[in-house]
A and B are shown apart, each in its own frame.
Chain A
Amino acid sequence: MIKTQRYVRELEQPRRRTILLAFAVAVLFGVLLLRLWYLQVIKVDEYRAMSENNRLRFLPVTASRGALMDRNGVVLVNNRPAFSLTIIPQEVEDIEKTLDRLASLLKLDRVELGEKWQKAKGRARYYPVVVAVNLSREQVEIVEENRLRLPGVEVAMKPVRQYAFKTSAAHLLGYIGEISDKELEQPDYADFNPGDYVGKNGIEKAWEQELHGADGGRQLEVDSRGRVLRVLSESSPTVGNSLVLTIDQRLQQISEQAFGSQAGAAVVMNVTNGEILAFASNPVFDPALFAGRIPPDVWKGYLEDKRRPLENKALTGQYPPGSTYKIITALAGLEAGVINEHTTVQCGGDYEMGKSKFRCWKSSGHGAVNLRKSLKESCDVYYYWLGEKIGVDRIAAMAERFHLGKELGIGLQYEKKGLIPTMAWKLKRFSKKWLPGETLPVAIGQGYVLMTPLQMASMISTVANEGTIYRPHLVKRVVDQDGKTIREFAPEALGSTGISSALFKKIKQGLFAVVNETAGTGGSARLWDYKVAGKTGTSQVVKLGEDRKKALKYEHRDHGLFVAFAPYDKPEIAVAVVVEHGGGGGAVAAPIAGRILRGYFDLQKPPAATPPSAETPVRETEAVEQPLESSRPPQPSTPHERGDNRD
């Protein structure tokens, strides 16, 4: 009985609730009706007037993008006017026919036109859709002649990027392209519209907000036949701001040309403030191609080139620093008090540890080696011994003081961190304990150690200025279209190594010997008039036996490295050069660094007297056969002398 009652209640309760629901439905529908009454009966006159005048059309005016200039005001990237073909959806009578006609008149790809048009579907109907860019003068004329047969078709002027130095600094400057669907959803691009062009890489991307400016446009009221009745509102576009970079275009070109056809990267940095003077990655690509549709064969060529032209090697290339890392190992040893400048190690060509044998690059051995000689001749045994003494973690601690193993914050996307191995790192990464034998390759910059060319430049710069790590930066100032400075960037010190100047001096003496003394490995970077100090490095890509130096596959050849600063007594600039798969650092990277330094000093002063004739440096190790810049008199090396650019 009770059960039945409960059953009935269970059925009856919801039944009563349907009445409640019916009331709720009636109330909400009542709200809809009230709102309709308000819109359609009370406000009818207002809306009727609006609908009669409602013939809006919007003509957008693209903002001119800011220019990129080098430190001397030489324009690197600017805009040129280009004509694009637009269609106002509202005005078109038969879109398929119109596109057919356009394709045959202008000799454009019909499929591509259709695709562009499809992409713009679903947007406001009075907003012109761009269906083709970069029209030629003839094409513009043809459109104008056929105006009457092409209702809704308009030619619009849109600025297009122009690269004054073609491919020079392409990686650094980056390129622009049409905004992607993915970008449109990001908060950074909230104010952008489909079809807008934005920076896709390099400076163009990193400084998008500054460079882009704000588009303007005119809102027109037209009658039903499309005649303009009046301009409802007008907003003029705001030109984007321009950037004055820290780059010196002349030095940039010298750096790029110094590579010839070799792949690699060079970074030139002011040691007193972190300004980047040149940021080269070779081979280069043509950034102008990225604004439109890249010719497939060119694109294929870029992808198939094993030298990877699209990659900014200075920023994203991670290489074992090789012997250049001995600077860090030596400083760690000095700081720990394990060695001083007199400590001597016997090099017999190899170093034994347990059952393993570690070889010096010079199989006949260096004999008695002290700190200076260990750097000069790049003796491996000395550092094997030192590495075993101090252990991997103390080397890593020193590297960390130089801000290695983390981003320097140059302000470009994809900056790489490199890798400074520690015991804890290995345990975490591989869940295996660090083996003592693994420390030895690390001590000479092999094994797990990785650094980018940018980090190498920063490291040698810190050595040169004896302890200050500056944040490398690329932009000196933001200026408006009249060249008035809006913002200026002061040098920023990321920190200090906290190492005494005396220790740095000991290292620097060794680095001086590398370039300037007999048997130094970096002789080919020597200049006749300025004292250069540096360190060579050769990083192995694969470990092989005796015949590893013989004709290897390109991908397996060693990387040649060289880091340097000059002048020795009062350092101004630091250079890091990496030649991918080029061979020994002294043979391939040092000459390039020499040419860059030569270029730098030549640019500093007006053409001067001829050099003293005698100076012919003696080179013994890793001899280089090609003539050196250092033996030539200084000459103005680029056609556009712009006077003194000393800051």
Chain B
Amino acid sequence: MIDRRLVTNFDWTLIGLVSIICLMGIMNIYSASAAYKLVGAPYYIKQINWMVFGLLISLVVASLDYHILEDFAYWFYCVLIILLIAVLLIGKTSLGATRWLNLGLFTIQPSELVKIGIIITFARFFNNYHTVEGLTVKDMLFPLGILAVPALLIMKQPDLGTAILVVLIALSMAFYVGFRWSTIVAFVLVTLPLAWFTWAVYMKPYQKSRVLNFLDPDRSRLGSGYHIIQSKIAVGSGGFFGKGYVQGTQSQLRFLPEQHTDFAFSVFAEEWGFAGTLILIILYLCLILWGLNIARRCNDRLGGLLAVGVTAMLFWHTVINIGMVIGLFPVVGVPLPFFSYGGTSMITSMVGVGILQSISMRRFMF
């Protein structure tokens, strides 16, 4: 039933890299939540479950020929838009943002699905859109429209972090297809005033204050700037060799916010030092370069596009999360794939891995 070639071509490098990062993440979550007093299963146990579940999902996705994604790309897109609108109308609100949708049996976060959705939609569009000289501004109008609808709906929730990610993933894929220089210039000329407008008109006070706190953390030592300062203290005090596993004072005394989720990297950096972060970053680098390699050696335009999209998703998550906790970017609430605690992020990332695996396994078939 299963083609033998699929088994022989199974991409062990991909699964290996992902598994190593996941295991390091679980080990780190154990330390990060060691100070918590919890009811129910500890976070690291739950994360092990998520990892196993995620790997299974990735295998299921990998077993499917990724070409079927092309067939229902636009349907999937439409369903996502409906879900996003539903979230705004009847979604569950927590901490001032409406992101969840209750489907009776379980709740879903449609904005998370959009990351995969935009990859598939863009892949389908560019697969049938041939260009050799590079994309013109006119070529970009339709894809930008497709992108703008979900991005704006997600911003409305408001979930700035996810909206930015979706845009970055889509633009990375368009870059892979190729731009003309004139397109890039036009893009810059439009984006800068738009960014100014967003700042001046659209952004809510708390979002502005996050950006301002990022630019000058001392502005509000006790407010939201607190997170950045405490995170930097954690990372910096780790030194070259770190304070030792479960020995980080910042994390064990719980000065860090969200330390098992968005700020998990800070805990790791404090306890394992530069030596540890170097290894972890190299692992991520390998994973992402491997993703690009899958795209490169794929003999099929659709596969290349999908692989670049998934890789871009993992890449931007990684860069933004680490950049955030070490004070390079504002705090936007983006998890570190495979490393931060959380089922949603794990499932989304593992679906991506499944797509990569599917492409990688079938590289000789096309």
Residues of A whose CB lies within 8 Å of any CB of B are 6, 9-11, 13-15, 17-19, 21-22, 25-26, 28-29, 31-33, 35-37, 39-41, 43-44, 46-48, 50-52, 54-56, 58, 90, 93-96, 122, 124-125, 127, 181, 184-187, 190, 219, 224
Contact = CB atoms under 8 A, between A and B. Distances in A.
Contact of A36 (B209, B234, B269, B319): B269
B114 interface: no
A32 B304 CA distance: 27
Given A17-B178, A36-B277, A94-B37, A54 B250 contact: yes
A40 B236 contact: yes
Contacts of B249: 51-52, 54
Interface in B346-366: none
Contacts of B130: 6, 10
7 contacts: A29-B285, A39-B326, A40-B274, A44-B236, A47-B233, A50-B236, A185-B96
Given A18-B292, A21-B175, A44 B237 contact: yes
Given A25-B289, A41-B274, A190-B205, A54 B255 contact: yes
B335 interface: no
Interface in B280-311: 281, 284-285, 288-289, 292-293, 295-296, 299, 301, 304-305, 308
User: How large, as a class, is the contact surface on chain B?
Assistant: 35 or more
Contact of A122 (B95, B277, B301, B327): B95
A17 B274 contact: no
Contact of A58 (B222, B238, B284): B222
A31 B318 CA distance: 13
A190 B255 contact: no
Nearest to B295: A18
B248 to A, nearest CB: 9
Contacts of B296: 15, 18-19
Given A31-B328, A47-B236, A124-B226, 15 more contacts: A14-B178, A15-B304, A18-B292, A22-B289, A32-B326, A35-B323, A36-B274, A40-B277, A41-B240, A50-B237, A54-B230, A56-B255, A94-B37, A125-B255, A184-B96
Contacts of A29: 281, 284-285, 319
Contacts of A10: 130-132, 301
Contact of B176 (A18, A33, A47, A125): A18
A44 B241 CA distance: 11
Given A14-B176, A47-B232, A28 B37 contact: no
Contacts of B301: 10-11, 14
Contacts, number: 153
Contact of A25 (B209, B235, B292): B292
Interface in B83-133: 95-96, 130-132
Contacts of A51: 233-234, 236-237, 249-250, 270
Contacts of B295: 14, 18
Given A18-B176, A32-B323, A33-B278, A187 B292 contact: no
A40 B301 CA distance: 43
A51 B250 CA distance: 7
Contacts of B237: 44, 47-48, 50-52
Interface in B184-221: 204-206, 209
Instruction: Determine the main DSSP class of A at the interface with B.
Output: helix
A185 B281 CA distance: 37
B39 interface: yes
A616 to B, nearest CB: 67
B124 to A, nearest CB: 15
Contacts of A181: 96
Contacts of B285: 25-26, 29
B322 interface: yes
Contacts of B273: 40
Contact of B235 (A39, A122, A184): A39
Contacts of A40: 235-236, 238-240, 269, 273-274, 277
Contacts of B281: 29, 32-33, 36
A403 B232 CA distance: 60
B1 interface: no
B292 A22 contact: yes
A81 to B, nearest CB: 25
B315 interface: yes
A279 B301 CA distance: 76
B253 interface: yes
A50 B132 CA distance: 56
B326 to A, nearest CB: 5
Contacts of B204: 185
A219 B220 CA distance: 13
B21 to A, nearest CB: 14
A50 B177 CA distance: 48
A56 B234 CA distance: 14
Contacts of B156: none
Interface in B314-340: 315, 319, 322-323, 326-328
Nearest to A224: B253
Nearest to A89: B254
A124 B222 contact: yes
Contacts of A21: 172, 175-176, 292, 308
B362 to A, nearest CB: 16
Contact of A125 (B132, B254, B323): B254
Contacts of A31: 328
A365 B267 CA distance: 92
Contact of A13 (B95, B178, B299, B315): B178
Interface in B53-85: none
Closest 9 CB pairs of A and B: A47-B236, A51-B237, A40-B274, A39-B236, A44-B239, A18-B296, A47-B237, A48-B237, A18-B292
A184 B205 CA distance: 9
Contacts of A94: 37
Interface string B242-255: 00000001100111
A206 to B, nearest CB: 21
Contacts of B39: 96
Contacts of B328: 31-32, 35
A335 B158 CA distance: 58
